[in-house]
Amino acid sequence: MRLSLLFSDTELGGGNRSDDFLEEGLFCDTLKGIFDDAKKNPCDLIFNGDTFDFIKCPLKDGSYPRHFTEKRSVEKFGLIKKAHPKFFKIITLFLKLRPDNRVIFIYGNHDYDLFFPLVQKAITKAIAGNDLSLQTRILYPGFEFRDNLLFVEHGSQMDYYFKVHPEKFVHPGNIHFPEPFLMIPWGHNALYEFYMEYKERYPVLERLLPREFSVAGLPRKLRFELMFGTIWYVLKSFFYTQFVEWHDPLRRFHPSVFTRYVTKFMKRNFHLDFLHKVRAKLRKSSIQIFAIGHNHTGTIHTFRGRRIINTGTWRDEYLYNPEIDAFLPKMKSYGYVLHDEKKVHIIELREVSSKQEVIFFEDISEKFLSKMRYLKK
Protein backbone atom coordinates (compact mmCIF):
# COMPACT_ATOMS: atom_id res chain seq x y z
CA MET A 1 0.00 0.00 0.00
CA ARG A 2 1.37 3.44 -0.93
CA LEU A 3 -0.01 6.93 -0.45
CA SER A 4 0.66 9.45 -3.22
CA LEU A 5 0.22 13.16 -2.53
CA LEU A 6 0.03 15.06 -5.81
CA PHE A 7 0.74 18.78 -6.15
CA SER A 8 1.18 20.65 -9.42
CA ASP A 9 1.90 24.18 -10.59
CA THR A 10 3.13 25.63 -7.31
CA GLU A 11 5.39 27.92 -9.36
CA LEU A 12 7.87 29.08 -6.73
CA GLY A 13 9.58 32.24 -7.98
CA GLY A 14 12.51 34.35 -6.92
CA GLY A 15 10.64 36.59 -4.49
CA ASN A 16 10.34 39.47 -6.96
CA ARG A 17 7.15 41.03 -8.34
CA SER A 18 6.70 38.21 -10.85
CA ASP A 19 6.69 35.52 -8.13
CA ASP A 20 3.18 34.02 -8.01
CA PHE A 21 3.67 31.60 -5.08
CA LEU A 22 2.26 33.88 -2.41
CA GLU A 23 0.78 31.46 0.11
CA GLU A 24 3.83 29.54 1.22
CA GLY A 25 2.53 29.37 4.79
CA LEU A 26 -0.78 27.87 3.66
CA PHE A 27 1.04 25.25 1.61
CA CYS A 28 3.25 24.27 4.56
CA ASP A 29 0.29 24.09 6.94
CA THR A 30 -1.61 21.93 4.44
CA LEU A 31 1.25 19.48 3.98
CA LYS A 32 1.90 19.34 7.71
CA GLY A 33 -1.77 18.48 8.21
CA ILE A 34 -1.27 15.29 6.17
CA PHE A 35 1.79 14.15 8.13
CA ASP A 36 -0.17 11.65 10.23
CA ASP A 37 -1.33 9.88 7.05
CA ALA A 38 2.20 10.01 5.64
CA LYS A 39 3.41 8.09 8.70
CA LYS A 40 0.94 5.20 8.32
CA ASN A 41 2.00 4.05 4.84
CA PRO A 42 4.97 4.63 2.56
CA CYS A 43 4.26 8.00 0.99
CA ASP A 44 5.31 9.77 -2.20
CA LEU A 45 5.17 13.55 -2.32
CA ILE A 46 4.87 14.11 -6.07
CA PHE A 47 5.34 17.56 -7.55
CA ASN A 48 3.84 17.19 -11.00
CA GLY A 49 5.59 19.92 -12.95
CA ASP A 50 5.94 23.69 -12.69
CA THR A 51 7.06 23.33 -9.10
CA PHE A 52 9.65 26.04 -9.69
CA ASP A 53 9.02 29.03 -11.92
CA PHE A 54 12.37 29.37 -13.64
CA ILE A 55 10.62 31.15 -16.52
CA LYS A 56 9.51 34.20 -14.53
CA CYS A 57 12.49 34.21 -12.17
CA PRO A 58 15.14 36.73 -13.29
CA LEU A 59 18.86 36.48 -12.77
CA LYS A 60 20.43 38.39 -9.90
CA ASP A 61 20.88 41.45 -12.12
CA GLY A 62 17.14 41.48 -12.89
CA SER A 63 17.50 40.33 -16.50
CA TYR A 64 15.56 37.60 -18.32
CA PRO A 65 17.94 36.06 -20.88
CA ARG A 66 16.35 33.76 -23.46
CA HIS A 67 19.04 31.09 -23.35
CA PHE A 68 18.56 28.74 -20.40
CA THR A 69 22.01 27.43 -19.46
CA GLU A 70 22.87 25.25 -16.50
CA LYS A 71 24.79 28.07 -14.83
CA ARG A 72 21.89 30.51 -15.18
CA SER A 73 19.37 27.96 -13.93
CA VAL A 74 21.45 27.26 -10.82
CA GLU A 75 21.64 31.00 -10.16
CA LYS A 76 17.87 31.29 -10.47
CA PHE A 77 17.33 28.41 -8.10
CA GLY A 78 19.48 30.20 -5.54
CA LEU A 79 16.98 33.08 -5.60
CA ILE A 80 14.01 30.68 -5.37
CA LYS A 81 15.54 28.91 -2.39
CA LYS A 82 16.21 32.20 -0.60
CA ALA A 83 12.66 33.44 -1.25
CA HIS A 84 10.90 30.28 0.01
CA PRO A 85 12.85 28.68 2.89
CA LYS A 86 9.71 27.26 4.58
CA PHE A 87 8.89 25.21 1.48
CA PHE A 88 12.17 23.31 1.56
CA LYS A 89 12.07 22.89 5.33
CA ILE A 90 8.63 21.23 5.29
CA ILE A 91 9.76 18.80 2.57
CA THR A 92 12.74 17.86 4.72
CA LEU A 93 10.41 17.12 7.62
CA PHE A 94 8.22 15.03 5.32
CA LEU A 95 11.14 12.84 4.28
CA LYS A 96 12.08 12.27 7.91
CA LEU A 97 8.62 10.89 8.79
CA ARG A 98 9.49 7.44 7.40
CA PRO A 99 12.61 5.90 5.85
CA ASP A 100 10.63 4.90 2.74
CA ASN A 101 8.97 8.25 2.01
CA ARG A 102 10.02 9.83 -1.29
CA VAL A 103 9.88 13.22 -3.01
CA ILE A 104 9.45 13.19 -6.79
CA PHE A 105 9.86 16.14 -9.17
CA ILE A 106 8.32 15.87 -12.67
CA TYR A 107 9.38 18.28 -15.42
CA GLY A 108 6.90 21.01 -16.42
CA ASN A 109 7.11 23.87 -18.89
CA HIS A 110 8.09 26.32 -16.12
CA ASP A 111 10.88 24.09 -14.80
CA TYR A 112 12.46 22.35 -17.78
CA ASP A 113 15.63 23.41 -15.96
CA LEU A 114 15.22 20.28 -13.79
CA PHE A 115 16.95 18.51 -16.68
CA PHE A 116 20.31 19.98 -15.62
CA PRO A 117 22.28 17.76 -13.17
CA LEU A 118 23.59 20.75 -11.20
CA VAL A 119 20.04 22.07 -10.74
CA GLN A 120 18.94 18.67 -9.41
CA LYS A 121 21.97 18.65 -7.10
CA ALA A 122 21.13 22.14 -5.78
CA ILE A 123 17.49 21.19 -5.08
CA THR A 124 18.50 17.94 -3.39
CA LYS A 125 20.98 19.77 -1.18
CA ALA A 126 18.38 22.42 -0.28
CA ILE A 127 16.11 19.65 1.01
CA ALA A 128 18.46 16.97 2.32
CA GLY A 129 21.67 18.84 3.07
CA ASN A 130 24.47 16.28 3.32
CA ASP A 131 22.22 13.48 4.58
CA LEU A 132 22.70 10.67 2.06
CA SER A 133 19.72 8.71 3.39
CA LEU A 134 17.47 11.62 2.44
CA GLN A 135 19.23 12.47 -0.82
CA THR A 136 18.60 9.02 -2.32
CA ARG A 137 14.84 9.47 -1.84
CA ILE A 138 14.60 12.62 -3.94
CA LEU A 139 13.87 11.58 -7.53
CA TYR A 140 13.81 13.32 -10.92
CA PRO A 141 12.23 10.81 -13.33
CA GLY A 142 11.73 13.27 -16.20
CA PHE A 143 8.49 14.11 -17.98
CA GLU A 144 6.45 11.27 -16.44
CA PHE A 145 6.32 8.81 -13.57
CA ARG A 146 4.45 5.55 -12.97
CA ASP A 147 3.87 3.61 -9.77
CA ASN A 148 1.42 0.70 -9.46
CA LEU A 149 -1.77 1.82 -11.23
CA LEU A 150 -0.89 5.53 -11.07
CA PHE A 151 0.56 7.48 -14.00
CA VAL A 152 1.75 11.07 -13.56
CA GLU A 153 2.49 13.60 -16.32
CA HIS A 154 2.43 17.38 -16.09
CA GLY A 155 0.51 17.96 -19.32
CA SER A 156 2.77 20.38 -21.18
CA GLN A 157 3.92 17.57 -23.50
CA MET A 158 0.31 17.32 -24.68
CA ASP A 159 0.14 21.07 -25.29
CA TYR A 160 1.13 22.14 -28.82
CA TYR A 161 2.55 25.45 -27.61
CA PHE A 162 4.78 24.06 -24.85
CA LYS A 163 5.86 20.55 -25.80
CA VAL A 164 9.55 19.90 -26.39
CA HIS A 165 11.51 17.07 -27.98
CA PRO A 166 12.95 15.00 -25.09
CA GLU A 167 15.86 13.72 -27.19
CA LYS A 168 16.71 17.10 -28.72
CA PHE A 169 16.12 19.14 -25.62
CA VAL A 170 19.62 20.57 -25.18
CA HIS A 171 21.38 22.51 -27.92
CA PRO A 172 25.18 22.02 -27.71
CA GLY A 173 25.79 25.69 -28.43
CA ASN A 174 27.33 27.37 -31.45
CA ILE A 175 29.84 30.03 -32.41
CA HIS A 176 27.41 32.78 -31.42
CA PHE A 177 26.38 31.24 -28.09
CA PRO A 178 28.94 28.58 -27.05
CA GLU A 179 27.27 27.23 -23.89
CA PRO A 180 24.71 24.39 -24.11
CA PHE A 181 21.16 25.70 -23.64
CA LEU A 182 17.62 24.33 -23.49
CA MET A 183 15.57 24.24 -26.69
CA ILE A 184 12.51 25.82 -25.11
CA PRO A 185 9.38 26.63 -27.17
CA TRP A 186 9.18 29.84 -29.21
CA GLY A 187 6.55 31.34 -26.91
CA HIS A 188 9.18 31.89 -24.24
CA ASN A 189 10.72 34.58 -26.46
CA ALA A 190 7.50 36.57 -26.33
CA LEU A 191 7.35 36.13 -22.58
CA TYR A 192 10.84 37.53 -22.00
CA GLU A 193 10.96 40.24 -24.62
CA PHE A 194 7.42 41.57 -24.31
CA TYR A 195 5.21 40.23 -21.52
CA MET A 196 7.64 40.22 -18.59
CA GLU A 197 7.70 44.00 -18.67
CA TYR A 198 3.94 43.98 -18.07
CA LYS A 199 4.17 41.17 -15.52
CA GLU A 200 6.55 43.22 -13.39
CA ARG A 201 4.52 46.41 -13.86
CA TYR A 202 1.15 44.72 -13.20
CA PRO A 203 1.86 41.51 -11.22
CA VAL A 204 -1.77 40.62 -10.56
CA LEU A 205 -3.09 41.17 -14.10
CA GLU A 206 -2.60 37.71 -15.64
CA ARG A 207 -3.81 36.06 -12.43
CA LEU A 208 -7.32 37.44 -12.95
CA LEU A 209 -9.41 34.78 -14.71
CA PRO A 210 -10.85 34.26 -17.22
CA ARG A 211 -8.14 36.30 -18.96
CA GLU A 212 -10.26 37.35 -21.92
CA PHE A 213 -12.69 38.92 -19.44
CA SER A 214 -10.09 40.63 -17.27
CA VAL A 215 -8.32 42.05 -20.32
CA ALA A 216 -11.62 43.40 -21.66
CA GLY A 217 -12.12 45.24 -18.37
CA LEU A 218 -8.74 46.99 -18.42
CA PRO A 219 -8.38 50.73 -18.92
CA ARG A 220 -8.57 51.40 -22.67
CA LYS A 221 -4.99 52.64 -23.00
CA LEU A 222 -3.52 49.57 -21.32
CA ARG A 223 -5.82 47.20 -23.22
CA PHE A 224 -4.80 48.54 -26.62
CA GLU A 225 -1.16 48.65 -25.60
CA LEU A 226 -1.28 44.93 -24.79
CA MET A 227 -3.34 43.89 -27.81
CA PHE A 228 -1.47 45.77 -30.50
CA GLY A 229 1.87 45.16 -28.83
CA THR A 230 1.23 41.43 -28.99
CA ILE A 231 0.22 41.53 -32.66
CA TRP A 232 3.28 43.62 -33.53
CA TYR A 233 5.65 41.32 -31.65
CA VAL A 234 4.32 38.16 -33.34
CA LEU A 235 4.44 39.69 -36.83
CA LYS A 236 7.91 41.12 -36.30
CA SER A 237 9.20 37.79 -34.97
CA PHE A 238 7.85 35.84 -37.95
CA PHE A 239 8.67 38.22 -40.80
CA TYR A 240 11.84 39.87 -39.51
CA THR A 241 13.60 38.70 -36.33
CA GLN A 242 13.99 35.02 -37.20
CA PHE A 243 15.79 35.98 -40.44
CA VAL A 244 18.01 38.68 -38.95
CA GLU A 245 19.00 36.32 -36.09
CA TRP A 246 18.99 33.14 -38.20
CA HIS A 247 21.93 31.72 -36.24
CA ASP A 248 19.83 31.44 -33.05
CA PRO A 249 17.65 28.28 -33.08
CA LEU A 250 15.37 29.78 -30.42
CA ARG A 251 14.31 32.42 -32.97
CA ARG A 252 12.98 29.93 -35.52
CA PHE A 253 9.27 30.43 -35.97
CA HIS A 254 7.60 27.71 -38.05
CA PRO A 255 4.64 28.88 -40.20
CA SER A 256 2.29 26.39 -38.52
CA VAL A 257 3.20 27.76 -35.09
CA PHE A 258 2.71 31.32 -36.34
CA THR A 259 -0.74 30.48 -37.71
CA ARG A 260 -1.84 28.84 -34.47
CA TYR A 261 -0.68 31.78 -32.35
CA VAL A 262 -2.48 34.31 -34.53
CA THR A 263 -5.68 32.24 -34.60
CA LYS A 264 -5.62 31.73 -30.85
CA PHE A 265 -5.13 35.43 -30.20
CA MET A 266 -7.77 36.63 -32.67
CA LYS A 267 -10.34 34.24 -31.17
CA ARG A 268 -9.22 35.27 -27.66
CA ASN A 269 -9.02 31.59 -26.86
CA PHE A 270 -6.65 31.34 -23.89
CA HIS A 271 -7.88 27.98 -22.56
CA LEU A 272 -5.79 24.82 -22.35
CA ASP A 273 -7.86 21.68 -22.90
CA PHE A 274 -6.11 18.37 -23.52
CA LEU A 275 -8.56 15.95 -21.90
CA HIS A 276 -9.11 14.19 -25.24
CA LYS A 277 -5.38 13.41 -25.45
CA VAL A 278 -5.42 11.93 -21.95
CA ARG A 279 -8.36 9.72 -22.94
CA ALA A 280 -6.47 8.57 -26.04
CA LYS A 281 -3.54 7.51 -23.85
CA LEU A 282 -5.84 5.65 -21.47
CA ARG A 283 -7.35 3.65 -24.34
CA LYS A 284 -3.92 2.19 -25.08
CA SER A 285 -2.81 1.39 -21.52
CA SER A 286 -3.64 -0.35 -18.26
CA ILE A 287 -3.41 2.89 -16.29
CA GLN A 288 -6.17 3.28 -13.70
CA ILE A 289 -5.33 6.81 -12.56
CA PHE A 290 -3.92 9.51 -14.83
CA ALA A 291 -2.70 12.56 -12.88
CA ILE A 292 -2.07 15.83 -14.72
CA GLY A 293 -1.73 19.55 -14.05
CA HIS A 294 -0.68 22.37 -16.40
CA ASN A 295 -4.01 24.15 -17.00
CA HIS A 296 -4.56 25.03 -13.30
CA THR A 297 -8.04 23.49 -13.18
CA GLY A 298 -8.65 21.07 -10.32
CA THR A 299 -11.03 18.32 -11.50
CA ILE A 300 -11.70 14.58 -11.43
CA HIS A 301 -13.15 12.79 -14.47
CA THR A 302 -14.18 9.17 -14.98
CA PHE A 303 -13.38 7.51 -18.30
CA ARG A 304 -14.28 3.85 -18.89
CA GLY A 305 -14.04 3.11 -15.18
CA ARG A 306 -10.70 4.88 -14.81
CA ARG A 307 -9.96 8.25 -13.25
CA ILE A 308 -8.33 11.40 -14.57
CA ILE A 309 -7.32 13.82 -11.84
CA ASN A 310 -6.10 17.33 -12.51
CA THR A 311 -4.57 18.59 -9.28
CA GLY A 312 -5.03 22.30 -10.02
CA THR A 313 -2.54 24.94 -8.89
CA TRP A 314 -1.01 26.64 -5.86
CA ARG A 315 -0.08 29.87 -7.62
CA ASP A 316 -2.06 32.98 -6.73
CA GLU A 317 -5.12 33.20 -9.03
CA TYR A 318 -8.60 34.72 -8.95
CA LEU A 319 -11.90 33.80 -10.64
CA TYR A 320 -14.52 36.34 -11.64
CA ASN A 321 -17.90 36.05 -9.90
CA PRO A 322 -20.57 38.07 -11.78
CA GLU A 323 -23.00 37.98 -8.85
CA ILE A 324 -20.81 40.28 -6.79
CA ASP A 325 -18.79 41.75 -9.69
CA ALA A 326 -15.51 40.69 -8.13
CA PHE A 327 -12.60 38.30 -8.52
CA LEU A 328 -12.52 35.66 -5.77
CA PRO A 329 -9.30 33.86 -4.83
CA LYS A 330 -9.21 30.38 -6.38
CA MET A 331 -9.22 27.30 -4.21
CA LYS A 332 -5.88 25.53 -3.92
CA SER A 333 -6.01 21.77 -4.44
CA TYR A 334 -4.00 18.55 -4.38
CA GLY A 335 -4.51 14.87 -5.12
CA TYR A 336 -4.74 12.19 -2.43
CA VAL A 337 -4.37 8.63 -3.79
CA LEU A 338 -4.00 5.43 -1.76
CA HIS A 339 -3.15 2.47 -3.98
CA ASP A 340 -1.33 -0.81 -4.38
CA GLU A 341 -0.44 -3.05 -7.31
CA LYS A 342 -3.98 -4.35 -7.76
CA LYS A 343 -6.39 -1.72 -6.50
CA VAL A 344 -6.97 1.98 -6.01
CA HIS A 345 -8.39 2.32 -2.49
CA ILE A 346 -8.85 6.10 -2.27
CA ILE A 347 -8.69 8.88 -4.84
CA GLU A 348 -9.64 12.40 -3.82
CA LEU A 349 -9.14 15.94 -5.04
CA ARG A 350 -8.79 17.89 -1.82
CA GLU A 351 -9.39 21.63 -1.87
CA VAL A 352 -7.91 24.27 0.41
CA SER A 353 -9.37 27.75 0.80
CA SER A 354 -7.07 30.62 -0.06
CA LYS A 355 -6.55 33.37 2.50
CA GLN A 356 -6.17 36.10 -0.12
CA GLU A 357 -8.54 39.05 -0.40
CA VAL A 358 -11.37 39.62 -2.88
CA ILE A 359 -10.57 41.97 -5.77
CA PHE A 360 -13.57 44.04 -6.84
CA PHE A 361 -13.93 44.73 -10.53
CA GLU A 362 -14.57 48.43 -10.00
CA ASP A 363 -11.19 48.74 -8.28
CA ILE A 364 -9.24 47.50 -11.29
CA SER A 365 -7.18 50.31 -12.75
CA GLU A 366 -3.66 50.73 -14.05
CA LYS A 367 -2.58 52.16 -10.70
CA PHE A 368 -4.20 49.29 -8.79
CA LEU A 369 -2.67 46.58 -10.99
CA SER A 370 0.75 48.15 -10.61
CA LYS A 371 0.53 48.50 -6.84
CA MET A 372 -1.02 45.25 -5.69
CA ARG A 373 0.84 41.98 -5.37
CA TYR A 374 -1.19 40.59 -2.45
CA LEU A 375 1.76 38.98 -0.77
CA LYS A 376 0.82 36.81 2.19
CA LYS A 377 3.33 34.35 3.53
DSSP element (H, E) containing 28: helix 24-32
Instruction: Evaluate whether residue 152 is within a structural domain.
Output: yes
What confidence score (pLDDT) does residue 374 get? 47
Alpha-helical runs (H) found in 177-325: 187-190, 196-201, 211-216, 220-236, 242-244, 255-266, 275-283
Instruction: Evaluate whether residue 377 is within a structural domain.
Output: no
Q: Which amino acid is at 312?
A: G
Contact in structure between 281 and 181 (CB atoms under 8 Å): no
What confidence score (pLDDT) does residue 94 get? 98
What confidence score (pLDDT) does residue 309 get? 96
Mean per-residue pLDDT pooled into runs of 10, the chain (377 residues): 96 95 97 96 97 96 94 98 98 98 97 97 98 97 94 92 88 92 86 86 88 74 85 90 91 83 67 79 89 94 93 95 90 96 93 92 66 50
What confidence score (pLDDT) does residue 172 get? 93
> Could you tell me the residue range of the domain that residue 288 belongs to?
2-371
How many domains would you assign to the chain? 1
Q: What is the CATH number of the domain that holds 259?
A: 3.60.21.10
Strand ranges in 18-143 using DSSP code E only, listed in sequence order: 43-48, 102-106, 138-142
What confidence score (pLDDT) does residue 377 get? 44
Instruction: Give dist(CA 245, CA 331) in Å, integer.
Output: 44
Instruction: Evaluate whether residue 110 is within a structural domain.
Output: yes
Helices 70-83 and 85-95 meet at what angle, rounded to 10?
Answer: 90
What confidence score (pLDDT) does residue 268 get? 62
Instruction: Evaluate whether residue 376 is within a structural domain.
Output: no
Instruction: Give dist(CA 178, CA 63) in Å, integer.
Output: 19
Contact in structure between 13 and 83 (CB atoms under 8 Å): yes
Instruction: Evaluate whether residue 360 is within a structural domain.
Output: yes
